[in-house]
Amino acid sequence: MGAQPRLPGTLPSAPAARKAHKAAVAREREARQIVDNMKSAMKSAREALQLAEKERRAAEDDLDAIDDGRRPG
């Protein structure tokens, strides 16, 4: 789906169009960088969550063993 054709005589000047394109490219790069940073942060958060879940399960197993009277040693 492309842009609508402009009416004759309503096109911006070449320098204005180049300036608008340059600004749009810069905004696109900034947005893409934000998305990439968010993806990286989500990956780190998922890894931290998996570690926390593993630690929680180990602690629950220890509590269950204590409750059942299976103390080490």
pLDDT digits 0-9 by tens, 24-34: 999 999 999 99
Q: Name the one residue in this structure whose structure tokens are 């911006």.
A: 12
The 3 state secondary structure assigned to 25-50 is HHHHHHHHHHHHHHHHHHHHHHHHHH
Question: Is the CB of residue 11 less than 8 Å from the CB of residue 17?
Answer: yes
Question: Is the CB of residue 49 less than 8 Å from the CB of residue 42?
Answer: no
Q: Classify residue 1 by its DSSP letter.
A: -
Asked whether the whole model's pTM tops 0.75, one would answer no
pLDDT digits 0-9 by tens, 5-19: 777 788 888 999 999
